[in-house]
Structure 1
Amino acid sequence: MTDDSNQNEKTLLDWAAQLCPDSPRKRLKEWIASGRFCLDGRVVTKAGLRLSDPGASLTLGTPEKSAVAWGHRKRIHPKLVLVYLDSDLAIVDKESGLLSVPTDKQGKISAIEVLANYLNDSRGEATRRSFFGSPDAVKPLPVHRLDQYTSGLLCVALNDTARQNLIKQLRSHDFLREYIAYGDGDASQPQGTWTNYLQLDERGYNQQLVDGPADGATQAITHYQVEEVFERHHVSKLRIRLETGLKHQIRIQAAANGLPLVGDRIYHPSTQKAVAKKGAKLPYGFKRQALHAATIGIVHPSSRKKVKFQSKIPGDMQLLEERLRTAKHKA
């Protein structure tokens, strides 16, 4: 008995030759490799792929822009994972130590540059055709930022229209940003809202609290909920939602409300002292502010659907939790 389904299969190159009978097979093979053929709206690049008659689902040319959306975790740098990608935006999950965006003062690579390098790799022409309808270079555009030593999710726009839409969501407080933080202290209430006026210092680097509305001061609003209390150490695990999004907002507001973040070298007095004293151990052995951007929720700029992305706390914060549960003293 023969298998009729196998007999009906041919290679992608064979079907392409049937679709374009006037084109030499060598040229068709080059076109396939460069991403010029699409199957069900997705670019296909393997000439030897075997398949049954694709009919009208095999096309030559640019796929529909909305046809492709990709969502699985792929590490594109030792400190950056690509979580989601489509023609409008990317969601990346960055580790502590990686800059969000390039800065003039630091020559280190940023998450934006890592993403640009990945998307514009010379070997990625087919990917660009698939997602953006063209092999032309893609320019990632920042929507918001994370401090260098804050880990977690970043949303990056991939065209000007999407960026304007996402920034509008930020300003109207429709852009969901939730964080997990570990505050060194006891929260006065299991949940609540911090409202303060903040003003950047003369260098434009650190925030300062001001008593009320003043020239150069901006109101900061942060909502918090206590998820767990490590009573032995008087440390509170917090889920925090930003309403406004100023530089260092969570860090300085947590400190101002009696919950400076574990490991914060700017707004936590105990960590400042340990850093200043040569050879001193940092509290709980934690080397950065204990802050992780865990959730992003947006209305997609094109589809208008609500989408949400989440990230688990990284290994160093998992280890911090273990220490808080088991250690007898700060170490």
Structure 2
Amino acid sequence: MTEDSKQSEKTLLDWAAQLCPDSPRKRIKEWIASGRFCLEGRVVTKAGLRMADPGPALTLGKPEKSAVAWGHRKRIHPKLVLVYLDSDLAIVDKEAGLLSVPTENQAKTSALEVLSNYLNDSRGEATRRSFFGSPDAIKPLPVHRLDQYTSGILCIALNDVARRHLIRQLRSHDFLREYIAYGDGDAPQAEGSWRNYLKLDERGYDQELLHEPVDGATEAITHYKVEEAYARHHVSKLRIRLETGLKHQIRIQAAANGMPLIGDRIYHPGTQKAVAKKGAKLPYGFKRQALHAATIGIVHPSSGQKIKFQSKIPGDMQLLEERLRMAQLQA
């Protein structure tokens, strides 16, 4: 390479800025990191990459031959189904018992690790090239989480820029999260909201529910609607929408409002007693909290489009509902 050609080299960010003169460099850098620029039809993500003038070979937008999105259900683990995948995010459907993210105290597998192993499998290099423009390893990043024994859909970011966009939506309450739950109690009205303050203990494990704000407490807001009432057993099937999303929020607020979730081993008194007494029958025979993350709705970090994903309640909750409905018919 001659000295003149070296001097004519600039970074990818410099050339991209020339291509988009009306956009701030900071935003262009984010676009590069999220894979929105292509060089000779391949995605490039390193803003500091030096090169001579690429001319028309540098374009804004994904290459036409790349897979824009993958949207069919594929089981990638006995307890995890991949629902949707693109270069920014993945949507997975988790069964009860699988952790969402790794924790310090538990060496069990998590949904985040399962997805990482799947995406970075040596046999999947072609897939990584088609989605991410490179065979380089992908690092899934948590956006939110579900309790280990809560089932349902989970959103996972696949780059830092997408994660920032999605977390911003969470904080501004634009990230739709709806759940189906079975509360052991009668709802006072057909729909309403729960507003309390929650404060974690020093270990960061147990929540304390408060009715007034104190130092270290955060307001928790949950909206509910009764989808069906099983009067014989005084059970309410609830559709719940989170406005805020604190640890154990739905579970502790449901219990505080007279509808502890069936099977909840922390907040349902009957389940607590049965667990403590060896061999005792669990209420309704249900082994985990009857809570399922049924709907996620987001604004896509790159396209700006509103997209929604839904998950049917799993088999154990279907059987619970069937038993409740049959008892109702026999009343």
Q: CA deviation at 1:326?
A: 2.4
Q: CA deviation at 1:66?
A: 6.8
Is contact 1:65–1:132 with CA below 8 Å preserved after alignment?
no
Q: CA deviation at 1:223?
A: 0.3
CA offsets 1:69-114 (integer angstroms, 9 cap, x no match): 0001000000000000000000000000000000111000100000
The answer on 1:115 being equivalent to 2:115 is yes
Instruction: Output the CA distance in 1 between the equivalents of 2:204 and 2:191.
Output: 31
Q: CA deviation at 1:201?
A: 2.2
Is contact 2:66–2:130 with CA below 8 Å preserved after alignment?
no
Look up the SS of the partner of 1:319 in the other structure: helix
1:191 is matched with which residue? 191
1:145 is matched with which residue? 145
The answer on 1:165 being equivalent to 2:193 is no
CA offsets 1:252-282 (integer angstroms, 9 cap, x no match): 0000111100000001111101110111000
Instruction: Output the CA distance in 1 between the equivalents of 2:190 and 2:249.
Output: 20
2:242 is matched with which residue? 242
Instruction: Output the CA distance in 2 between the equivalents of 1:209 and 1:132.
Output: 44
2:276 is matched with which residue? 276
Is contact 1:65–1:87 with CA below 8 Å preserved after alignment?
no
2:23 is matched with which residue? none
1:221 is matched with which residue? 221
CA offsets 1:277-296 (integer angstroms, 9 cap, x no match): 11100001100000000000
Look up the SS of the partner of 2:152 in the other structure: strand
The answer on 1:97 being equivalent to 2:100 is no
Query: What amino acid is aligned across from residue 135 of structure 1 in structure 2?
Result: P
Query: What amino acid is aligned across from residue 303 of structure 2 in structure 1?
Result: S
Query: What amino acid is aligned across from residue 250 of structure 1 in structure 2?
Result: I
Bigger Cα Rg: 1
CA offsets 1:288-329 (integer angstroms, 9 cap, x no match): 00000000000000000000000000000001001112248x
1:70 is matched with which residue? 70
Query: What amino acid is aligned across from residue 304 of structure 1 in structure 2?
Result: G
Instruction: Output the CA distance in 2 between the equivalents of 1:215 and 1:199.
Output: 9
Instruction: Output the CA distance in 1 between the equivalents of 2:118 and 2:67.
Output: 21
Instruction: Output the CA distance in 2 between the equivalents of 1:286 and 1:161.
Output: 41
The answer on 1:201 being equivalent to 2:198 is no
Q: Where does the alignment leave 5 or more consecutive residues of structure 2 unmatched? A: 1-40, 43-61
Instruction: Output the CA distance in 2 between the equivalents of 1:113 and 1:127.
Output: 18
Instruction: Output the CA distance in 2 between the equivalents of 1:66 and 1:240.
Output: 38
Query: What amino acid is aligned across from residue 203 of structure 1 in structure 2?
Result: R
Q: Where does the alignment leave 5 or more consecutive residues of structure 1 unmatched? A: 1-40, 43-61
Is contact 1:226–1:237 with CA below 8 Å preserved after alignment?
yes
Query: What amino acid is aligned across from residue 189 of structure 1 in structure 2?
Result: Q
Query: What amino acid is aligned across from residue 311 of structure 2 in structure 1?
Result: S
Is contact 2:185–2:236 with CA below 8 Å preserved after alignment?
yes
Query: What amino acid is aligned across from residue 177 of structure 1 in structure 2?
Result: R
- Greater CA drift, 211-220 or 84-93: 211-220
Q: CA deviation at 1:65?
A: 8.9
Query: What amino acid is aligned across from residue 111 of structure 1 in structure 2?
Result: A
Instruction: Output the CA distance in 1 between the equivalents of 2:67 and 2:74.
Output: 20
